[in-house]
Chains A and B, each alone.
Chain A
């Protein structure tokens, strides 16, 4: 599941357009985590970084810490409160934690749901 060699900025596998702003949010979180980490998480192909599982960069505890930071960053950036550690996230057939790209897809879906519930874009 490692990168395919192309620059990972805006286009993920299947040529799907990935939200740059969200990718930036996650990049910042990874950068903050890397400050305290001996074994740095590679950021040159962020979309394809595997978060959890066999090739994952996090164990379960660090995954929760990472997701909490992402939740906070989304709250700061978009004023939306979403949960990335819910039963829904965990029980997906294709795990949102397999690759950053999958996580971004999940975040986008959750943001649409929360945004719709709370009117327009305000925090719930």
Chain B
């Protein structure tokens, strides 16, 4: 498989592989860079199966370094930005031996390798299944919105085999893909492997602002934009479809958080020529191939023959051959006894077998025993012409347990009293009375995580 990957990349020859900071790098150059980095790794004392922290976002050299580490059967821990939480998890649970900065300390230099103090014996115990299989590993850190980030261990050989495959389809139409999702996120890794599979071009943004992303879509005629609902709404709120020529987009995929139906309608109206596809995946089970019922529907099907799914008490559970091997720092209590991964996503299934995400189990607001899911209200509220965006969350109280709160980002100027009256009138008759928010706040903008998910206070 290792030599086949290189052969495959070599066959793509002069096709552009990566575009970064205005420079275009071909597949031929990518292979040469992989070979060069392999030599640097050997010279730097990096041995097979050692854990290497790859501290970088997407770049020509970071992609090459990732592939070189895969070829070297290392365990790769990609980290875009070190935070206190990720640093503690990496040093405390991942047993790293090397810190690799493919573009140096300032992101513009040459590759550097620094030693890290991970214990070799502990690493051997933690990564034994990979060592025995002779496989490379990948550790993804969860965003850690609740507690320390989870360190999620994958068999990188299985992921590459599954996503890149061994068949070469040089004739397949190449795609320009914007690397919107981050390098240390399952979605970003999936985008990268998707590019390599078809000999496509990874267009790397410097910043992930609507300005930068839309400018790249226009200049490079990007056809595929993998993104998140929150980011798409930022693009719409900012009026970017009028400022840039985004008509080249043929496929916009959205994932990482549930899509409110009303927002999907807005996106569909703004990009009538693009197909809109719900992606579904978790850091633990990888990204599954999905089919949306239509571009204006939030119902989707898991059409991945290798992924089994079932719905247990409203929660989606998945099983796939490429699912994670386990957490390095948590008990695997998200797996059922029979090995299914509990996604924590609540779904409903329609008569045709399509699924729709209703929200996260941990986001349920309990008002005196009645259950409220934020997504239902957010979806409705986004249908109001006065509301640009909103986030619904629960707040504890000693009378009903929790109450429903909403932060509103209005389209124009709106006072708190006006916003409250509007929310009440708008929802009246559309939802049961207990779902109507008791607290309405007006905010200038909603808080968004670095992975472009809405930040929501959990009840």
A residues contacting B by CB (< 8 A) are 32, 36, 60-61, 63-65, 67-68, 72, 76, 85-87, 89-91
**B125 on the interface (CB 8 Å rule)?**
no
User: Are A64 and B416 within 8 A (Cβ)?
Assistant: no
From the candidates B403, B417, B424, B433, name the one contacting A64 in the complex (CB within 8 A).
B403
Contact partners of A67 in chain B: CB under 8 A: 399
Q: Which residues of A contact B428 (CB under 8 A)?
A: 36
Which of chain B's residues 233-259 have a Cβ closer than 8 Å to chain A? Answer: none
Say yes or no: is B397 at the interface (Cβ < 8 Å to chain A): yes
Contact across chains for A72 and B439 when beta carbons are under 8 A apart: yes
Q: Which B residues are CB-close (under 8 A) to A61?
A: 367-368, 400, 433-434, 438
A87 to B283 Cα, complex, angstroms? 39
Determine if A68 and B439 form an interchain contact, defined as CB atoms under 8 angstroms apart: yes
B: interface residue count bin: 10 to 19
Residue with the highest number of chain B CB atoms closer than 10 Å, among A36, A61, A67, A90? A61
Q: Is A68 a contact partner of B403 (Cβ separation < 8 A)?
A: yes
Decide if B398 is an interface residue (CB 8 Å cutoff).
Answer: yes
State whether A90 and B399 are in contact (beta carbons under 8 Å apart), knowing that A36-B424, A61-B367, A61-B433 are contacts in the complex.
yes
Closest A residue to B403 using CB positions = A64
A60 touches B399 (CB 8 A): yes
Contact assessment for B368 and A60 in the assembled complex, using a CB-CB cutoff below 8 Å: yes
Sort A-B residue pairs by CB-CB distance and give the 3 closest, nearest first. Answer: A85-B397, A65-B438, A90-B398
B415-432 residues at the A interface, CB under 8 angstroms: 416-417, 424, 428
Bound CA span A67–B439, Å: 10
The distance from the CB of A69 to the nearest CB of chain B, in whole angstroms, is 8
CA distance A87 to B399 in the complex (A): 8
Which of A32, A72, A76, A85 makes the CB contact (< 8 A) with B398?
A85
- B368: chain A residues at CB < 8 Å are 60-61
Chain A residues within an 8 Å CB radius of B399: 60, 63-64, 67, 85, 90
B114 CB, min distance to chain A CBs, angstroms? 45
A interface: dominant SS: helix
CB distance from B428 to the nearest CB of A (A): 8
Q: Which residues of A contact B433 (CB under 8 A)?
A: 61
Is there an interface contact between A89 and B416, defined as CB atoms closer than 8 Å? Answer: no
Q: Are B367 and A86 in contact (CB under 8 A)?
A: no
Q: Who on chain B is nearest to A83 by CB? A: B397
A90 to B400 CA separation, bound complex (whole angstroms): 11
Q: Cα distance A89–B417 when bound, in Å? A: 25
- The residue in chain B whose Cβ has the minimal distance to the Cβ of A90 is B398
> Is B403 in contact with A87, judged by CB distance below 8 angstroms?
no
For residue A91, which residues in chain B have a CB less than 8 angstroms away from its CB?
398
Q: Contact mask B423-454 → A, CB, 8 Å, 1/0?
A: 01000100001100011000000000000000
- Cross-interface CB contact of A89 among B398, B400, B424, B439, cutoff 8 Å: B398
B271-285 toward A: CB 8 Å interface, digit per residue (1/0)?
000000000000000
CA distance in complex: A37, B417 (Å): 17
**How many angstroms from the CA of A64 to the CA of B394 in the assembled complex?**
13
**B residues within 8 A CB of A86?**
397-398
Q: Which chain B residues in 392-419 approach chain A with CB under 8 Å?
A: 397-400, 403, 416-417
Counting chain A CB atoms within 10 Å of each CB, the highest count among B368, B433, B438, B439 belongs to B438
Most chain A CB within a 10 A radius of its CB, from B397, B416, B417, B428: B397
B416 touches A72 (CB 8 A): yes
Q: Supply 29 A–B pairs (Cβ within 8 Å), ascending by A.
A: A32-B417, A36-B424, A36-B428, A60-B368, A60-B400, A61-B368, A61-B400, A61-B433, A61-B434, A61-B438, A63-B399, A64-B397, A64-B399, A64-B400, A64-B403, A64-B438, A65-B438, A67-B399, A68-B403, A68-B439, A76-B416, A85-B397, A85-B399, A85-B403, A86-B397, A86-B398, A90-B398, A90-B399, A91-B398
Q: How far is the CB of B23 from chain A (nearest CB, A)?
A: 52
Minimum CB–CB distance from A67 to chain B (whole Å) comes to: 8
In the complex formed, the residue of A with least CB distance to B439 is: A68
A64 to B395, CA, bound (A): 11
Q: Give the CA-CA distance A105 to B268 in the complex, in Å.
A: 54
Q: Which residues of chain B are within 8 angstroms of A63 by Cβ–Cβ distance?
A: 399
**Cβ contact within 8 Å between A87 and B400:** no
| Distance between Cα atoms of A60 and B439 in the complex (Å) | 15
**How near does chain B come to A15, taking the closest CB pair, in angstroms?**
31
Q: Which of B165-198 contact A (CB under 8 A)?
A: none
Contacts of B398 on A, CB cut-off 8 Å? Answer: 85-87, 89-91
Which residues from chain B contact A60 at a C-beta distance below 8 Å? 368, 399-400
Contact with A along B323-335 (1 / 0, CB 8 A): 0000000000000
Name which residue of chain A comes closest to B425, CB basis.
A36
In the assembled complex, how far is the CB of residue B256 from the closest CB belonging to chain A, in whole angstroms?
32
